[in-house]
Structure 1
């Protein structure tokens, strides 16, 4: 399990710094005392009184209060404290921070005060124009925003166009920002920097001004003829449905920079989207490799179900440079699992770093492997640790709960499965997956009323859901109650998924309950041949037995015993048939 100790270290560090700062404030407010009350000749300093300002007039106190408010994401309070600090300070950075916070909370008056103060303290022209443009856009004043943006891009500042983009991205009125983009970021005005052209084209596309984005992309390609401009123009063509044109431009991009991994990935992505998975794989297999390329190669091989390619890729990746292996630990674990090398997979998953985006998935997969190895207690312990570690991340927490409950279902420990599902549903009420799982646990435990209630509730949330309809229909049929309703539900599920063996099993078992033994046997035999599922086999065996075909039934039961030696349904059925 991954430790959260780093978070606590940060908190302790912050507390220590804050305590020290507050201590300094307290020391500044403490009057100096003489060394001795009985001194015959008191020194002049002994009579000195240090005047300490109150909090409203103490710059340091206001700055600390502002930063504390920011840690709580209370922007309004932080803006108020920085407004006071700015008036007391001669530091232009304090005024700049005050202006930014005031604009963020849409306090126009405070923003204007801070901007005037910042300018008086010597703000750079480009930074001032950027801030005044932000304020103008916040007020909806397009004329003033344009004037300030023109000052910004005419300032000669090396970051002017980056600042220009930031102003427009943060605008409240995106349509207004888009109009300013088209008016000001023209080929005639843009600088001799390809990145600026591409950024403006991408921003236009983000604003929904696709024609403008294409215009700038094409102009950048003609003007610079660089790999990156060809690549971006290719993306625009691909988006417009011109796949051939996009591939042609990407080929030009790769000719300019054949070692560029991102270009190869982009080109491979286009090839795969067009259905040329083999071409994409060949492209990626040649040239320098990195973690992203290995991941895409693995995805392509998995899509094609090419086990030989996956095995070869696993061997190749194990010989990759250490930094590539380290960032590919989760992928290596997946590849090892695909080849049934569970011990190796566990070792790779254990190497997935805490900061890796796959850290949770690695632990989840480790729990599944441990359970499959028969280490049930270890698996549940790991899932319990995940539930504690991800309390503040609902998506991962829900997965950990559901995995824990489903493992109990596999163990046929229905009481613990129901408890785990119920615990999760207290936090994520009405979750369809959790309701479905708990309904199964109730049904397997013989708590039919509770199972029916969960499945019916699920169908209210997701009317017509095929799996829920089948589960409720089967539960009613198995309990031999409300068979007309069971038939309606299973018939609907069968119409939606006519080739699903699980639904066929439900239909066959319903026919058995209704006394239609021949139809039941035929349906269950087809389901058994389609997928050797233990529960289907138990049902088929019972129907054959009732038909008087005891030898055929016994052969099926023997096959079920090989599939699942501890199958509870088989044991109960044999007790009924051999009283």
Structure 2
């Protein structure tokens, strides 16, 4: 479009250049008739100094208006672009400029400008079908359904092979979707639709987008009955499932697969439908047969993991290792996950290292690598890798948050609580008031003995999520451990205990609260049960202290010894023994 305008301008410049050369030639000829021996008494002005070239002002310069319109479009300023193209259409003889002016005027709902542009476009020789399409859009914009229907009838009559595509474009862009839907149902009937399954599918999809689900389903089923293709059966299955008939949808999708057995997307859709219906074994069995792909292996692994089927996961790992290069390369992240599930940490690291930078799992592969390195005792390497991620994903908040949180979690595992606090705080700068981060930092503060800051974070978390049981328990325990605000601690832990009566961590909090309240017998009973249910080091330390204070020092010593075997470097055990045995 613009090229044609530019070429016209080029011809204009060339003609002006020839005129200038002619004027210069005339001046030169005049000078040649003057005898060279007679010098002029006064120096005459140079010929170019007398030459004046007229240039149009911006409002009457086609190129200036086109450039202004395009510049406005680069800034998504449709209103300015429409105004500029409207002026350009009045000045230009190029029908494509008038067409663009019409489209922009319609886009900004300037009906008067659209009418002027349409008239100019028609005068320059627009095709009747294109004009009818634009007039239908204008009529819909004005709310004139009758005129819109007349113009759409013209589109279908004059548009040829593109008729139904043009028809759909008018309706999908309508401001009044209800009016567009009524026109769709009135005109796009099975009797009028052409012998082209794409048109049927497009009209069904348009009906779905416009909220006419019954129409969409009716056209989809009619298309499947008429064309019997994999595409029509698949779409009918999707519409049928959305209507709530899973069994019928499953049958339709099965017919689609029968016509295109090698279509990976159809096979994945069918297996997903089986899984969503709760038939995981059938979904896994179906995917196991037939041609495999990276996506199919992913879904098979997900189904096996959900069923905690370690045998199948191990088998998938072996199969993937022997799969073709393209599948294996695109499945490097999955191979790493499968290796981790089998505790093959070194192999998992090797697979994660093969995940390419452009792979959508590149970040997650590096994150998992850091966790594995930390577990192998390579703590400095793990934090260094996370630091690299924090720099590389500085402009991607979701990944940046995960990197900071992982760094904080690893520092918590190392009992380096100040570093954990700092990492959690950085993450909270990225995602303020994130409940998970507030919870993590609250625990880090509590472990560092910064009780006021811990209480502030945990109370803020409960403001954001009043029903968060873990937060209630954490705040209640923190207050009980600090021997402050015990009525509040009792209320919070009782609330958590009611919600999770069998949770040993909450039982530990309740037993420790009873100890702070001086109820030694109840404390010992609750903590014994929690210790039996889960022999956690912290629970054992609490039980040992309660037994010690109750005078049952031999039993307390035995519990302390068991804690030492579970966690030889436990800081809580060390501090407790120092207090009890100074």
Q: Please say whether Structure 1 and Structure 2 have the same fold, judged by a TM-score greater than 0.5.
A: yes
Give the Å deviation of 1:283.
0.7
Say if 2:149 is the partner of 1:146.
yes
- Of residues 360, 369, 372, the one that matches 1:369 is 372
Mapped partners of 2:432, 2:472: distance in 1: 20
**RMSD after superposition:** 3.3
2:238 paired with 1:251: no
CA drift of 1:304 comes to 0.7
Select which of 478, 487, 490 maps to 1:484: 487
Distance 1:565 1:65 in 2: 75
Task: Kindly tell me the number of residue pairs found equivalent between the two proteins.
Answer: 547
The counterpart of 2:455, out of the listed 447, 452, 456, is 452
Distance in 2, matches of 1:98 and 1:379, equals 59
Q: Does 1:200 align with 2:199?
A: no
Higher RCO (CA 8 Å, separation ≥ 6 residues): 1
Kindly state the Cα deviation for residue 571 of structure 1 after the two structures are TM-superposed. 2.4
Structure-1 residue corresponding to 2:286: 283
Native 8 Å contact 2:137 2:148 kept in 1 = yes
Match of 2:220 among 210, 217, 222: 217
Bigger Rg, which one: 2
C-alpha distance in 1, partners of 2:148/2:423? 57
Which residue of 1 is the match for residue 580 of structure 2? 577
Q: 2:7 matched to which residue of 1?
A: none
Deviation string, structure 1 residues 494-533 (Cα, Å, up to 9, x no partner)? 1112222221221121122122233223322333333343
Q: Kindly provide the CA deviation profile for residues 233-268 of structure 1, in whole angstroms up to 9, marking residues without a partner as x.
A: 233333333333233333322222222222222221
Per the alignment, residue 188 of structure 1 pairs with 191
Cα shift at 1:47: 7.5
Q: 1:373 to 1:83 in 2, by over 3 A?
A: farther
Aligned partner of 1:264 in structure 2 is 267
Could you say which residue in structure 2 is the equivalent of 1:438?
441
Residue 296 (1) aligns with residue 305 (2): no
Matching residue within 418, 422, 431 for 1:419: 422
How has the CA–CA distance of structure 1 residues 93 and 537 changed in structure 2, closer, same or farther, with 3 Å as cutoff?
A: farther
Deviates more, 1:342-351 or 1:490-499: 342-351
Query: SS of the residue aligned with 1:159?
Result: helix
CA contact (8 A) 2:62 2:92 kept: yes
Say whether the 8 Å CA contact 2:397–2:430 is kept in structure 1: no
Query: Alignment partner of 1:154: what SS?
Result: helix
Q: Return the TM-score normalized by structure 2.
A: 0.84
Q: Structure 2: which 5+ runs fail to align? A: 1-9, 25-30, 33-44
2-structure distance, mates of 1:96, 1:565: 80
- Separation in 2 of the partners of 1:300 and 1:50? 78
Task: Look up the match of 2:524.
Answer: 521
Q: Secondary structure at the match of 1:288?
A: coil
Deviation at 1:48, TM superposition (A): 6.2
- 2:347 equivalent to 1:348: no
The 1:331–1:130 alpha-carbon spacing in structure 2 relative to 1, beyond 3 Å, is farther
- Please say if 1:379 is aligned against 2:389: no
In structure 1, the residue matched to 2:318 is 315
For the residues of structure 1 that align with 2:447 and 2:177, how far apart are their CA atoms?
Answer: 55
1:474 matched to 2:477? The reply is yes
Who is 1:159 aligned against?
Answer: 162
1:543-558 equivalent positions in 2, closer than 5 A:
543-558=546-561
TM-score, with normalisation over the residues of structure 1? 0.84
Determine the structure 1 residue equivalent to 2:570: 567
Q: CA offset at residue 350 of structure 1?
A: 3.9
Matched, 1:505 2:504: no
What 5-or-longer segments of structure 1 have no aligned partner? 1-23, 35-39
Q: 2:134 is matched with which residue: 127, 131, 134?
A: 131
Distance 2:76 2:293 in 1: 38
For residues 330 and 128 of structure 2, the distance between their equivalents in structure 1, rounded to whole angstroms, comes to 44
Give the superposition deviation at 1:305: 0.8
Change (3 A) 1:66 1:229: same
> How much does 1:210 deviate?
2.0
Match of 2:27 in 1: none
**C-alpha distance after superposition, 1:415-464 (max 9, x if no partner):** 23223333333443332222222222221111111211222222222223
Query: CA 1:121 to 1:273, structure 2 compared with 1: closer, same or farther past 3 Å?
Result: same
SS of equivalent residue, structure 2 residue 377:
coil
How far the C-alpha of 1:385 sits from its partner, in A, is 4.1
Match of 2:172 among 150, 166, 169: 169
C-alpha distance in structure 1 between counterparts of 2:203 and 2:521, whole Å: 71
SS at match of 2:478: helix
The whole-number CA distance in structure 2 between the counterparts of 1:75 and 1:384 is 44
Are residues 1:108 and 2:111 paired? yes
Deviation at 1:311, TM superposition (A): 1.7
Q: CA deviation at 1:87?
A: 4.2
